Amino acid sequence: MKNIYNEILELSRGNASGVLVTVVEKTGSGPANTGSKMIVYSDGSIIGTVGGGTIEKMAIDRAISIFDSHKNCLEKFSMGESNDDATATGMLCGGTATLFFEYFAPQNHIYIFGAGHIGKALCYHLKNLDYYVTLIDDRKEVLDQVDNANEKVLESFDRALTDRQVAENAYFVIATYQHKYDALVLNRIFKKGWNPKYVGMVSSRSKREKLLSNLKAEVPDANLECCYIPVGLDIGGGSPDEIAISIIAELQTVRYGKKGSHLRG
């Protein structure tokens, strides 16, 4: 059974979108107790409760409408006689309940595999953009040298992110220190069903066909359209910082649906 506080933590990290509904005040009788919480997701599914019955159904409907407006709000519900400053529920309990609706938007998540020169440069140049950066490597001494990731994961590439929720429609950049790990991570992204929006790999054009052929053999329904190998826009330069800027420029073209001269082309 899911714990609502764990789910609130996932919302706060931007791993999903949802509306947190909290009973902030209650007067008189009724099922909605102060402090009760419920998360409403865009498909109408919920975790937790604000008392059940009609008030909860109306709260779910109100929360779903917030996925369009993205605006937090405070609303009082009447569970008894008509009340000019409260929304009528038709319930006969006699009290009122004030609910706070708080919208959590998903962040743009980017998972970078490899904390070497390019991974470090990516974290540096991404720090002022609205991406949540997760940096993964199996070398503690290398991870310790990077300051600008939102979180750092010290784990083997064949196990990384297994025990956590991975954001959907996220961006992945593969820049490990060995070709075998690059291929392993590429295939894992699709085998795990992480539904990436973008997968970029630091690689040569000569290796691309073999990588994608092996991926297709392991995951026949893999979406190769979201794979950018070699990664980056063709803007020139070869230093780690120049490569990082090329990759981020490509991320932006994918994010905003723009055109660019992609190295994969």
pLDDT one-digit tens code per residue, 213-239: 999 999 999 999 999 999 999 999 999
- Per the structure, the complete domain to which residue 127 belongs is given by 108-256
| Tokens 């008509």 -> residue | 82
Q: Tell me, what DSSP letter sits at residue 150? A: S
Q: Give the residue ranges of the chain where pLDDT is below 70.
A: 1, 82-84
CA distance 109 to 218: 25
| Tokens 């409260």 -> residue | 86
62 lies in some domain: yes
Comparing C-alpha atoms, which of 243, 238, 222 is closest to residue 173? 243
Based on the structure, what is the number of domains in the chain? 2
Backbone angles phi, psi at 257, to 5 degrees: 65, 35
Predicted pLDDT of residue 1 = 57
Same-domain status, 137 and 248 = yes
**Torsion from C-alpha of 3, 25, 27, 61, nearest 10 degrees:** -70
Same-domain status, 130 and 243 = yes
Whether this model's pTM surpasses 0.75: no
- Residue that is last in its domain, among 45, 79, 104: 104
Tokens read off for 4 = 């609502």
- Residue that is last in its domain, among 76, 104, 132: 104
pLDDT digits (tens, 9 = 90+) for 72-85: 999 999 887 766 68
Cβ burial of 88 (10 Å; 0-12, 13-18, 19+) is middle
